[in-house]
Amino acid sequence: MKALVWQGKNTVKVIECPKPKIIEPRDVILKITGSTVCGSDLHLLHGSVVELEKGDILGHEFCGVIDQVGSEIKNHKVGDRVVASFQIACGDCMYCHKKLSSQCEKTNSNTIENAMYGGRTAGMFGYSHFTGGFAGGQAEYTRVPYGDVNLLHLPDDVPDEKGLYLSDVVSTSWNCVVDTGVKEGDVVAIWGAGPIGQMCIDFSYMNGAKRVIVIDQNWRLDYCKSKYPNIETIDFSNLPKGETVVSTLKKMEHGGPDIALECVAGEYPKGWAHTIELMTGLETDTSEIINEMIESVKNYGRCGITGVYVGYTNHFNIGSLMERGIRLIGNGQAPVHLYWEKLLKMIQEGKIDPLKMVTHRVRMEDLDKVYYKFDKKEDGMQKVYVET
């Protein structure tokens, strides 16, 4: 079968690989029909996640048709059309019982590095040996461990192109908004207008936000404004002399926003590789965005972090946080299983349309070229649908 594999720093390739087989009784073999590339995949492309090995198959957002089922799979059958969650949960542990699947105790790889990272991240498809070394779904077939819990049926009225994004981006953005606590009348500021930030716009309005302000650079803000005409924007790379993101927000809204959502992180000021150095504990640093969030929100404001951070940090404004009663919330890797049925219904009812963020449709054979284009943001490439 064809699959997209990591070949070394900044090199990925579509090559022939062996078709996966059932290993465990709860495995499902999925014939992939659609997948996508996530902002998080670029950290892998750059070789910034150290536990990658040459030949690892990438991809953590995918859907498909069931090709084979293990002997203990009772709720799915061959031919069913399904979407996979980006994390691999066992369904049985303490966290899985609460549907907090991103914290699954059984699939957590529990390496020393993972312990420094936080030690509580469930296995993930196509995301290096750091998250369990599971092969990903940018391939013609993949093995889905615990297939009874990690696959959701797609009804006839939800095409693959829409259902696919329940895997990650739709569930992640919903988690960001509800976990941070957006409520009726809130003013919400969103850092990062990538696919995650964009879905957070929809969900903020849906949860009652009266005003949404998005912070990014113009090329992304223009796309956002074309899809969400009601939003206001701040171009952080082109502020008037003497102004900052914080001063601009304070001028736009008395006291600042109620809510700050962090949907960036991959663009950490010194680069993702630097955050790996931080894991050693030898250096400390803080993304400026975290300080911007703490300093700009109203007193008792809430700041949610969905952009991925690792390791230790320092030099953030703890004084402001304490005195002004700011809630700083790590949203975690989104527990997809907690939300995906509800979100599927929203897609069916037309309340959300994930296609809004999709800019390109490509073929599996061209996936390596997509990585390079997506990395350089060529052709306005933002979210692709990979037809397999």
Residues that bind ligand NAD (CB under 6 A): 38-40, 168, 172, 191-197, 215-217, 220, 236, 263-267, 289, 306-308, 331, 333-334
Closest separation in Å from C-beta 333 to Zn ion: 9
- Select from Zn ion, ligand NAD, none the partner in contact with residue 264, using the beta carbon and a kind-dependent cut-off of 5 to 8 Å: ligand NAD
DSSP class of 258: S
Query: How are strands ordered across the β-sheet holding 259-262?
Result: 232-235, 211-216, 187-191, 259-262, 302-305, 327-330
Closest separation in Å from C-beta 162 to ligand NAD: 18
- Select from Zn ion, ligand NAD, none the partner in contact with residue 90, using the beta carbon and a kind-dependent cut-off of 5 to 8 Å: Zn ion
Task: State which of positions 105-124 bind Zn ion (CB under 5 A).
Answer: 106
Distance CA 86, CA 94 (A): 19
- Select from ligand NAD, Zn ion, none the partner in contact with residue 193, using the beta carbon and a kind-dependent cut-off of 5 to 8 Å: ligand NAD
- Select from Zn ion, ligand NAD, none the partner in contact with residue 106, using the beta carbon and a kind-dependent cut-off of 5 to 8 Å: Zn ion
Distance CA 38, CA 181 (A): 25
Closest separation in Å from C-beta 327 to ligand NAD: 18
Task: State which of positions 57-86 bind Zn ion (CB under 5 A).
Answer: none
Distance CA 91, CA 99 (A): 8
CB nearer to ligand NAD: pick between 66 and 152: 152
Helix (H) / strand (E) containing 362:
strand 360-363
Alpha carbons within 13 angstroms on the beta-carbon side of residue 164 total 29
DSSP H stretches of helix in 151-283: 160-163, 169-180, 195-206, 218-227, 245-252, 272-279
Helix (H) / strand (E) containing 372:
helix 367-376
Closest separation in Å from C-beta 175 to Zn ion: 12
- Select from ligand NAD, Zn ion, none the partner in contact with residue 217, using the beta carbon and a kind-dependent cut-off of 5 to 8 Å: ligand NAD
Closest separation in Å from C-beta 296 to ligand NAD: 12
Closest separation in Å from C-beta 316 to Zn ion: 25
Residue 34 DSSP SS3:
strand
Q: Is 154 in the site for Zn ion (CB under 5 A)?
A: no
38 closest CA partner among 308, 227, 287: 308
Distance CA 366, CA 326 (A): 46
Q: Is 186 in the site for Zn ion (CB under 5 A)?
A: no
Q: Is 40 in the site for Zn ion (CB under 5 A)?
A: yes
- Select from ligand NAD, Zn ion, none the partner in contact with residue 163, using the beta carbon and a kind-dependent cut-off of 5 to 8 Å: none
